[in-house]
Amino acid sequence: MAAIGQIVEPTPSGEVLSRAQSRARLIPDCMVEAKRIANTVISGWHGRRKRGIGENFWQFRPYSDGESLSRIDWRRSARDDHTYVRDREWEAAHTIWLWADLSPSMMYKSKFGSVSKESRALVLMLALAEILARSGERIGCPGVMEPVSARNAAERLATALMHTPLSGGLPQTAMIRGASDLVLIGDFLDPADTIMARLGPLARRGLRGHVIEVADPAEESFPYAGRTEFTDPETGEKLTAGRAEIVRDDYRRAYIARRDTLGENLRHLGWTFTPHRTDHLASEALVAVHMYLSGMPGRATHGGQL
């Protein structure tokens, strides 16, 4: 009898990129609803309600001496006797940090899921990068890529991933400054306390976080029966169940409880939590995260369930 689950090879980022772009084409552009936009000089699309560098008209004001003559708006100035300068609204870009957990457990794929968890996580990450880059946001990946604001941010992220593969565990976040958004994709199978101990300081630094938990259906439904030896792909630890079917209910209770606990704790931090299964479409998770990022309140209260 063939095993239900297996460990698969890491997915090439080129393939992931193409899949991610095809997913991203289905999703409208995403403008991050920045509550507190980082006070940067880099132009973006988030209006600051004050004069500054931007594209949109903000106000006409009288010309004061010392200003560059080139800034005079001659069309307006020709209407009366004063000379006016056209001010533009200060528009700043927002920084989104994307990160996917690629620990060995993410390589797992069961026969019930369509792809491995790692593959799905990368697809989600690159698709988010594509969507956000279309909106002009700055995309970064901690330890891999500094935030860039470019139309081809997804391609650049994929290239960077090729050179610097993601490692397991939670990212180093020292380089994250100011009020940024952080999207974490992973399976989060560690105990909830460990995860919260790691994420709590980030929240207190003012980062807004979005957590996508990618799970395989076999992990959730536990379709094993009979005498089965289970192996942990990260630690190599082995565990033999004499009759796997009798612990199915207990296991599922424990699994759901862990997910609920994690989701509850994250919401206490003000973060969002999106569980996702690899037998569902990646677009579902994308749409959910898209809504969270866009600040749509209706979806923000659905309790973390798919």
Burial class (CB in 10 A: 0-12, 13-18, 19+), 151: exposed
CA 219 – CA 278 distance, rounded (Å)? 11
Q: How far is the CB of 118 from other proteins (least distance, A)?
A: 11
Q: Which is nearer to other proteins, 10 or 47 (CB)?
A: 10
Q: Under 8 Å CB-to-CB from 71, ≥6 apart: which residues?
A: 85, 86
Q: Which stretch binds other proteins (CB under 8 A): 118-126, 173-181, 238-246, 265-273?
A: 238-246
Q: Which is nearer to other proteins, 91 or 101 (CB)?
A: 101
Interactions with other proteins, residue window 145-204 (CB under 8 A): 187, 189-191
Q: How far is the CB of 303 from other proteins (least distance, A)?
A: 21
Question: What phi-psi label fits residue 82: left (phi over 0), alpha (psi between -120 and 50 degrees) or beta?
Answer: beta
Q: How far is the CB of 155 from other proteins (least distance, A)?
A: 31
Q: Which is nearer to other proteins, 224 or 271 (CB)?
A: 224
In the 8-state DSSP scheme, what is residue 302?
Answer: S
Give the number of residues in contact with other proteins, rule: CB under 8 A.
41
216 binds other proteins (CB under 8 A): yes
Q: Under 8 Å CB-to-CB from 91, ≥6 apart: which residues?
A: 43, 44, 45, 46, 47, 48, 52, 53, 54, 55, 56
229 binds other proteins (CB under 8 A): yes
4 binds other proteins (CB under 8 A): yes
CA 243 from centre of chain: 39
Nearest residue to 176 via CA among 96, 102, 100: 96
Q: Which of 121, 132, 207, 244 binds other proteins (CB under 8 A)?
A: 244
Q: Which of 101, 130, 181, 219 binds other proteins (CB under 8 A)?
A: 219
3-state DSSP assignment of residue 85: strand
Instruction: Give me the count of residues in the chain.
Output: 306
Q: Which two three-digit tokens encode residue 264?
A: 């509850």
Q: Which of 241, 260, 279, 294 binds other proteins (CB under 8 A)?
A: 241
In the 8-state DSSP scheme, what is residue 41?
Answer: S
Q: How far is the CB of 213 from other proteins (least distance, A)?
A: 12
7 binds other proteins (CB under 8 A): yes
Q: How far is the CB of 212 from other proteins (least distance, A)?
A: 16
Nearest residue to 133 via CA among 40, 284, 31: 31
Residues in contact with other proteins by CB under 8 A are: 1, 3-7, 105, 108, 187, 189-191, 216, 219, 224-235, 237, 239-245, 247, 250-251, 253-255, 258
